[in-house]
Amino acid sequence: MLSVAPFRAVRPSRDKAHLVATRSYVSYTTRQLRDKLTENPFSFLHIIHPDMSATKLHKTANLEDRFVQVRKKYERFLQDEILIREEKPAYYIYRQTKGGHPFTGIICAVSVQDYLEGKIKIHEQTLAKREETFVKYLDTTNINAEPVLLMSENSHVIEDIFEKYLNTRAEYDFTTTTKARHQLWIIDHDDDIKKVTDAYAKMSALYIADGHHRSSSSARLAQMRRDSGKQSNASEYCLAYVLAETNVRIYEYNRIVKDLNGLSEEDLLRALSQSFYVNEAPSHYKPMGKGEFSMYLNKQWYALNLKHHENKLDAQVLSDLVLQPILGIGDLRKDKRISFLEGPKGMEGLKHAIDKNKGGVAFGLFPVAIQEIKHIADEHLTMPPKSTWVEPKLRSGLVVYEL
């Protein structure tokens, strides 16, 4: 039985929602960040990045001082009524429509105890240093503005709630420059709140699609506050956005290697032929199924097909058979010779990266299936870093959960 709850959100006033909500700050270049901070006084970036002279939070010598400034800026937004606090607990239907595809789910609070007991299932290991930083951030700022993305089983009850509210006027309805439409409805009727709570309570598990570090950090914060006697009901929950698994879109996460590890192109092709059938392919060739990879090398596309079936994720196969033994890429998280490109940027993105670098090699992968992710989580296994690119990507500051 899962514990999912409504909460009193802090959110932008209706007229400013399109100005407040922002992409994650790490997705902006330094110039873009400065432009946003200079041109838009309502952007949530002013809260999560209160010092315009710095480029990234983690570069500041004293993180706690920075996080104190985040809290002060947040309080200023409340005082100026850029952000408002909800009068009563509610659930929130959030719909993002991108490329003609609507993603519709519930923004809610999920129990960290469910995470600790394995009812919220993971498929990725977290980095202790990142966790520690985010725990400090949560503990100092007492806000969480980026929901974890969770997948659930389909629910007729939830679908009926959607049908009821989506036919009414949305509290927010705006389109961003990325051509994504954002809509939000408030579920604050007691009967409907109970229906949503009960529907999730009947489910046996939720699966993390995106946000492993945020989930783990929220759990660590709860444990820390329990141990210190500062436990509160709010810190026993984590901000989440829950979608039916059929409504989540999983893309591949492709690989770009800056050089050939001292090999000639002929050497690389020869080495690959030990494990793959290597054939020239049409321009911008994309893998057609599991066990197949595309490769872009010196303006030529290739199809790589495994000679022997591997009962592994394709990302792991590529690491085990190519990246580590042939190209010398040992640690995907730390090696600066490798970078990653999200699936929506397509094969054109891979081609552009290699052509711009004037060398190296790029590999396109076939997307991981939802059932593969669930199987890995159910078996307590983990996926290689950067195995999936998941959509929707949520905007910061649209709904804030106070701790």
pLDDT tens digits, one per residue of 330-339? 889 889 999 9
Each residue's pLDDT tens digit, 240-299: 999 999 999 999 999 999 999 999 999 999 999 999 999 999 999 999 999 999 999 999
How far is the CA of 235 from the CAs of 74, 107, 214, in angstroms?
18, 17, 13
Question: Are β-strands 148-152 and 237-244 bridged in parallel, bridged antiparallel, or unpaired?
Answer: parallel
The span from the CA of 304 to the CA of 324, in Å, is 17
Residue 58: pLDDT band (50, 70, 90) is very low
Per-residue confidence (pLDDT) for residue 126, from 0 to 100: 85
Closest CA to 19 of 185, 239, 179, 177: 177
Residue 53: pLDDT band (50, 70, 90) is low
The span from the CA of 108 to the CA of 158, in Å, is 13
Residue 178: pLDDT band (50, 70, 90) is confident
**Structure tokens belonging to residue 367:** 């997307």
Query: Domain-by-domain residue ranges, the chain?
Result: 4-249+390-402, 251-386
Residue 60 has pLDDT above 60, yes or no: no
Each residue's pLDDT tens digit, 105-133: 999 999 999 999 999 999 998 888 889 99
Per-residue confidence (pLDDT) for residue 52, from 0 to 100: 63
Task: State the fold for domain 251-386.
Answer: 3.30.1760
